[in-house]
Amino acid sequence: MARYLLTRLGQALVIVVLVTLITFVILHFLPGGAARAILGKEATLEQIAAFNHEMGYDRPLWEQYALYLQRLVHGDLGYSFQLNQSVAEAISQRLPKTMLLSLASTALAVVVAIPLGVVQAVRRNKWPDYTINALSLLAYATPIFFMGLMMIILFSQVWPVLPPEAPQGFTLGEVLADPAGLVLPTVTLAVLTVAVYSRYVRSSMVDNLNENYVRTARSKGLSEGRVIVGHTLRNGLFPVITLLGMYLPALFSGALVVERLFNYPGMGLLFWQSALKRDYPILLGVTLLISVATVLGALVADILYAAVDPRVRLKASRS
């Protein structure tokens, strides 16, 4: 098991380095450059050249990347001239708010998706299964920005029961002081996740309902509810555990759109504004954080999966 974990950690480290390399190269080949974005359109060529020399942007690309990695090792994510603060400080101010939105939407999605998936599996190929499946496909096919706009129109204009804008607090406490403002962003971000998770739960539950241990449990006289909840559901949630770790990139991309749509002051909105201003240090810092969170999520999912599934645990011990 220890060798398995070390192998997965090594793979995760390689993935993070590759993500930083690809992002670094792409950002440095974008037209305009950081100097023009920072100094403005009126800056002369001499001023741009002096800025590039001072910041090291005129050095070979491999040398710039090596210096970037060296700063990362020492915990330096860079400095944003657009925000006039360090990248670490800018991210730390907005990360808790994005985590709040993501965790709330994920919790809501799991609470709704698991019962829907169970109902679909138990009542498969009948009208509840067909109805939930059609609604899931509709939610999955609907762009998240359109879903958010419909939420705003319905619940802020037609029935004005919720505010159309997310809380604008600077701190997490100020955001939590306006819970009504979190409802629409959370529900909008959760809709797509419900559609994905419910289909996974349904598929896994259908496979487990056909296993021998389910027939054995029924033959012993156990109630159908106990068979479903106590046996089938527990084993049917294994794929969902893995999916939770692998779904982080999609969750952040959805948060980016939702935060922009509802003007929620989190990392998604920060990334959006930084992309418009060509704030490369912020873009690199946020991308690095998301890649690290993704590989760590996948690693935790693998560990949990190996801990609860004896087949995976046996394979890991042999490797």
Q: What is the pLDDT of residues 288-300, one digit of tens each?
A: 888 888 777 777 7
The Cα 67–Cα 28 span in angstroms is 14
Judge whether 316 lies within some domain. no
Q: Residues 37, 114: one domain?
A: no
Task: Please give the average per-residue pLDDT across 251-276, as a whole number.
Answer: 86
First to last CA, the chain: 8
Tell which wins on pLDDT, 184 or 34: 184
> Tokens 């762009």 identify what position?
143
Residue 318 domain-assigned (yes or no): no
- Is residue 60 located within the same domain as residue 204? no
314 belongs to a structural domain: no
Tokens of 304: 């949990």
Strand partners, 86: 79
Strand partners, 85: 80
Judgement on whether residues 32 and 167 belong to the same structural domain of the protein: no
Calpha distance 94→266 (Å, rounded): 5
Spatial separation of the C-alpha atoms in residues 267 and 256, rounded to whole Å:
7
Residue 283 has what pLDDT?
86
Domain boundary residue, one of 87, 122, 137 = 87
- The answer to whether residue 71 is domain-embedded is yes
Question: Does residue 103 sit in helix, strand or coil?
Answer: helix
Pair 80, 87: CB distance under 8 Å: yes
Give yes or no: residues 8 and 71 share one domain.
yes
Of 46, 72, 87, the residue at which a domain comes to its end is 87
Question: Which residues is 80 bridged to in the sheet?
Answer: 85
What's the domain count of the chain? 2
Going 214 to 219 to 220 to 222, the CA torsion angle's sign is positive
Dist CA 76 CA 274 (whole Å): 18
Inter-residue contact 238 to 204 (CB < 8 Å): yes
> Are residues 100 and 77 part of one domain?
no
User: Are 21 and 111 members of one domain?
Assistant: no
Average pLDDT of the chain, as a whole number: 82
What global pTM score does this model have? 0.80
What tokens were used for 139? 């939610």
The CATH number linked to 267 is: 1.10.3720.10
- Same structural domain for residues 136 and 189? yes
Domain termination site, one of 87, 122, 151: 87
Q: Give the containing element (helix H, strand E) for 85.
A: strand 85-86
Residue 206 φ then ψ, to 5°: -60, -40
Whether 319 maps to a domain, the answer reads no
Q: Which domain covers residue 65, as residue numbers?
A: 2-87
Considering just the CA atoms, what is the radius of gyration of the chain in Å? 24
The rounded percent of the chain whose pLDDT value lies above 90 is: 11
- 202 and 114 Cβ atoms separated by less than 8 Å: no
Evaluate the CA torsion angle 22, 27, 31, 35 in order and state its sign: negative
If asked whether residues 214 and 266 sit together in one domain, one would say yes
- State whether 173 and 106 are in the same domain: yes
**Cα 308 from chain centroid?**
24
Secondary structure, 3-state, 155-193: HHHHCCCCCCCCCCCCCHHHHHCCCHHHHHHHHHHHHHH
- Quote the pLDDT of residue 306: 64
Q: Is residue 199 part of a domain?
A: yes
Q: 79 pairs with which residues across the strands?
A: 86
Q: Are residues 27 and 112 in the same domain?
A: no
Identify which of 9, 181, 37 has the alpha carbon closest to the alpha carbon of residue 100. Answer: 181
Q: Are 270 and 282 within 8 A, CB to CB?
A: yes
Between CA 228 and CA 235, with CA 233 as vertex, the angle to 5 degrees is 125
pLDDT score recorded for residue 112: 92
Are 29 and 51 contained in the same domain?
yes
> Is 99 found in the same domain as 16?
no
What is the pLDDT confidence band of residue 74, given thresholds at 50, 70 and 90? confident
Q: Does the structure show a pLDDT above 50 at 314?
A: no
Pair 110, 197: CB distance under 8 Å: yes
Taking a C-beta distance cutoff of 8 angstroms, is the pair 1, 9 a contact?
no
Question: Where are the extended beta strands (E) located within 254-315?
Answer: none
Could you give the CA distance from residue 51 to residue 1 in angstroms, rounded to a whole number? Answer: 51
Of residues 301 and 280, which shows the higher confidence score? 280
Q: Is residue 317 part of a domain?
A: no
What pLDDT, in 10s, does the model give residues 2-40? 676 777 778 878 888 888 888 888 777 766 666 776 777
The verdict on residue 237 lying in a domain is yes
Residues 266-278 have pLDDT tens digits of: 888 898 888 888 8
